[in-house]
Chains A and B, each alone.
Chain A
Amino acid sequence: MQVAREPAGRLPRGGRRQGFLATYLTPKLAVSRRLTLALGAAAFVVIVLVWTLAAILVDNPSFVPTPVAVVQAWVDMFTTQGFLIDVGWSTFRIVGGFLIAALVAVPLGLLMGSFEVVRAFFQPPINAIRYMPASAFIPLLILFQGLGESEKLTVIWIGVFFQLVLMVMDVAQRVPMEMLNVAYTLGASRWTVFRKVFLPATFPEVVDALRITMGWAWTYLIVAELVAATAGIGYFILVSERYLRADRIIAAILTIGVLGLVTDLLFALVSRWAFPYVEKVQNA
């Protein structure tokens, strides 16, 4: 979500003389957009510098490769190591597992949020299972399902489903009662109120919940692939470790970061396109 900068937070110009401390170290006081961007960029520069320094000091590329070496490894992975296929496998698993989880979790969450009987039945077990880490299920799932794709999809499903259900339920519960009541007094039937008021009222926040849980799905996938897989980014990382290729490991991790960022951006774009009416929350 775009964070709106509040110029109102700035102190009025002129009048009292403002020193460095007053300008930059007044709690919660907004600074210029240019400075914000510059500081963000500076952080990356600092990270790269420290990293480079560490690589020079350690002087062992198997453990700490230089940033340049990682970029070279990254290019090499895609051009000669067939890393794109691993990325493809991982993406397929993420999308598959996530879709199956969402297809069940969203309707169930909406029902739980609107009907007390449904909530009373499903919430206690889901609440309990939510605290069991999806990765802990992997050995059990391997016993049940073997090492194939269904095991990977199930790990993601477990990781996403139980969180998502409760988030969607929460969204449904937050729909203001008055929104529904107005519809009744305008002559709408219960079914119409559900379809024309309740559902649309939940859509934007459901997409938000999907976006957040999608990020978590990556974690579970990589763990599943680290434990047992013959392809995928996690598998690639595991193999690189055996060959002491820290450069490739780092490049693979960065790839996951980029993929996560791209998905997040896609969700944000879809959200903005589909729900132009949503009021931007101003959280400074």
Chain B
Amino acid sequence: MSSLEFRDVEMEFRSRAGATRALDPISLEVPDRQFACLVGPSGCGKSTLLMVAAGLVRPTRGEVLADGRPAHEPSASRGMVFQSYSLYPWLSVRRNIEFGLEMKRVPKAERRRISSELISLMKLDGFAEAYPKTLSGGMKQRVAIARALANDPDVLLMDEPFGALDAQTRQIMQELLTDIWQRYRKTVLFVTHDIDEAVFLGDMVYVMTARPGRLRTVIPIDLPRPRSFETQSSPRFTELRSLVIEVIHEESLKAVASELAATAAS
């Protein structure tokens, strides 16, 4: 069991100008082995929510429970993948992947076995001893995912991992990720603003509203698994996609209206 639960998580940033509300109280539960996608406009606090889940940021109020236990500190049981890859440039691909294992003092032979498996799984064959500088963006992100998976975390947190990639590469990476998920069946919380991506990958799509971030709705994605490239041309995919777009569109209109109202009032 490895569920992830947000209980009334609320976030305020204090500055000299006063407190800014980033997240209204949010409660949601990602059950064990679910692939949950979090979509919303930029600045809605979805990345903040992910940082809270990782234990990297403490919420103003509320708490995060991993497996029913409070999770205030970062832990190897909740792995994270950032948009910026953040590989360690001074380590080879293999040493990057083995970083978490080294932290855990896993014996070298075992580390090597795990990293070799992930290298071939992530289609990085031949690049084990290469430095990150020689890799393309897509390859870098594959290393970052492998590095998170090597630790065998209960929960995988992904913050717009494919946001910096070009459209073709992103497509390939999504297919790869869905294959990987099929194999490892981790609990995933995946933040994105790409609706197609969310529908293609997720079991659930959580739609958030703009600042202060709130959970607007949850849309279950009942597309059959395992999913592949063909999934995206199925009528059900198109239907679900339109549904999500509709909800977000409504939300954006509301946001614009309230912004206008606020401007008129001041």
Given contacts A275-B90, A277-B90, A279-B133, contact A186 B54 (CB under 8 A): no
Of B76, B88, B104, B131, the contact of A185 (CB 8 Å cutoff): B76
**Are A176 and B74 in contact, with the CB atoms below 8 A?**
no
Nearest-Cβ distance from residue A1 to partner chain B, whole angstroms:
15
Report B48-86 CB contacts with A as 1/0, cut-off 8 Å. 000100111000000000000000001110111010101
Instruction: List residues 258-279 of chain A with CB under 8 A from any CB of chain B.
Output: 275-279
Instruction: List residues 73-115 of chain B with CB under 8 A from any CB of chain A.
Output: 74-76, 78-80, 82, 84, 86, 88-90, 99-100, 103-104
In the complex, whether B142 has a CB less than 8 A from a CB of chain A is no
Nearest-Cβ distance from residue A168 to partner chain B, whole angstroms:
18
Instruction: List residues 183-213 of chain A with CB under 8 A from any CB of chain B.
Output: 183-188, 192, 197, 200-201, 203
Nearest A residue (CB) for B83: A178
Nearest B residue (CB) for A180: B86
**Are A178 and B90 in contact, with the CB atoms below 8 A?**
no
- Residues of B in contact (CB 8 Å), total 28
**Are A277 and B82 in contact, with the CB atoms below 8 A?**
no
CB-CB under 8 A from B80, the residues of chain A are: 181-182, 185
**Are B76 and A278 in contact, with the CB atoms below 8 A?**
no
**Are B99 and A276 in contact, with the CB atoms below 8 A?**
no
**Are B103 and A185 in contact, with the CB atoms below 8 A?**
no
Nearest A residue (CB) for B130: A277
Report B144-160 CB contacts with A as 1/0, cut-off 8 Å. 10011001000001000
CB-CB under 8 A from B213, the residues of chain A are: none
In the complex, whether B132 has a CB less than 8 A from a CB of chain A is yes
CB-CB under 8 A from A279, the residues of chain B are: 89, 133
CB-CB under 8 A from A201, the residues of chain B are: 88-90
Report the Cα distance A277→B51, complex, angstroms: 29
Report the Cα distance A176→B100, complex, angstroms: 19
Report the Cα distance A181→B89, complex, angstroms: 15
Report A155-187 CB contacts with B as 1/0, cut-off 8 Å. 000000000000000000000101101111111
Nearest-Cβ distance from residue A102 to partner chain B, whole angstroms:
21
**Are A178 and B75 in contact, with the CB atoms below 8 A?**
no
Given contacts A186-B100, A276-B131, A277-B131, contact A181 B88 (CB under 8 A): no
CB-CB under 8 A from B131, the residues of chain A are: 276-277
Of B56, B82, B104, the contact of A187 (CB 8 Å cutoff): B104
Report the Cα distance A181→B73, complex, angstroms: 11
CB-CB under 8 A from A182, the residues of chain B are: 80, 82, 86, 144, 147
Nearest-Cβ distance from residue A126 to partner chain B, whole angstroms:
26
Nearest B residue (CB) for A182: B86
**Are A184 and B74 in contact, with the CB atoms below 8 A?**
yes
Residue with the greatest number of chain A CB neighbours at <10 A, chosen from B51, B54, B90, B100: B90
**Are A187 and B76 in contact, with the CB atoms below 8 A?**
yes
- List 26 interface pairs A-B (beta carbons < 8 Å), by A numbering: A178-B82, A178-B86, A179-B86, A179-B88, A181-B56, A182-B80, A182-B147, A184-B54, A184-B56, A185-B55, A185-B74, A185-B76, A185-B148, A185-B157, A186-B79, A186-B99, A186-B103, A186-B151, A197-B88, A201-B90, A203-B90, A276-B131, A277-B89, A277-B133, A278-B89, A279-B133
Residues of B within 8 A of A (CB): 51, 54-56, 74-76, 78-80, 82, 84, 86, 88-90, 99-100, 103-104, 131-133, 144, 147-148, 151, 157
